[in-house]
Structure 1
Amino acid sequence: MPNIIFYPQKFILPKGLSVKGKTGETILDIALSNKIKMEHACEKSCACCTCHCIIRKGFYSLSKCKEKEEDLLDKAWGLEKFSRLGCQARLGTEDIEVEIPMYNVNYVSE
């Protein structure tokens, strides 16, 4: 079982968190099951970019990024080279480190 380290985030996770995950689980499902209130306005259907996260370690062990996810990531606030959508990125066998950006683009709440 890989370790997932969620970096501290001022609003939803001030102290950060290290948890275990199962290969094949999404980053978003792991966050939610560990009471991390990661936004997901489209209810995990890959239709928005509110669950955007940045993979600081272990990026290449995650599932491949599909074209639909890549298109949505272009709209994400603070996009970086190792950005993924938490609802689409599935764990491989290696440990990962995840940063949840301070802000996101949520057209529902704006």
Structure 2
Amino acid sequence: MPVIKILPHPDYAPQGSTIQALPGTSICEALLENGIDIEHACEMSSACTTCHVVVRQGFESLNEIEEGEEDLLDRAWGLEAQSRLSCQAVLADQDVTIDIPRYTINHARE
């Protein structure tokens, strides 16, 4: 079962965290199921960027990024080459390390 290492984030995981999830689970689902309440304004329908994460290790083990996700990521705060929408990033068998950006662009909340 793959492990997700979450780097420290002041709101979601102040000390960092490590969780496990079944292959085939999205990173967002795994976080939510383990009490890490990452923002996901569109309810994981790939319509916003609030669940944006940066995959520091294990990026290549995730499912391939689709064009719609790439288009949305162009609007994400703090975009990096290893950025993914956690609702679309599906785990395989390898461990991953993620960094949750400090800010999101949530038009519903602003």
Distance in 1, Cα, partners of 2:100 & 2:58: 15
Q: 1:65, CA displacement in angstroms?
A: 0.4
Distance across 2 between alignment mates of 1:42 and 1:19 = 24
Tell me how far apart the structure 1 counterparts of residues 38 and 19 of structure 2 sit (CA, whole Å).
15
Equivalence for 2:104 = 104
TM-score (structure 1 length as normaliser): 0.98
Match of 2:8 in 1: 8
Name the CA distance, whole Å, in 1 between partners of 2:71 and 2:96.
Answer: 23
SS at match of 1:60: helix
Amino acid at match of 1:54: V
- Residue by residue over 1:42-87, the C-alpha shift from the partner in whole angstroms, topping out at 9 and shown as x without a partner, is 0000000000000000000001100000000000000000000000
d(CA) in 1 for partners of 2:3, 2:31: 12
Listed as ranges, the gaps of 5+ residues in structure 1 are none
- DSSP-derived class of the 1:30 partner: helix
User: 1:1-110 maps to which residues of 2 (within 5 A)?
Assistant: 1-110=1-110
Q: Give distance in 1, aligned partners of 2:34 and 2:16.
A: 11
3-state SS, counterpart of residue 84 of structure 2 = strand
Q: How many residues align?
A: 110
The percent identity for this pair of structures is 47
Tell me how far 1:93 sits from its aligned partner. 0.9
- Runs of 4+ in structure 1 over 3 Å off: none
> Alpha-carbon deviation of 1:36?
0.5
Task: Report the TM-score, using the length of structure 2 for normalisation.
Answer: 0.98
- Please report the RMSD computed on the Cα atoms of aligned residues, expressed in angstroms: 0.5
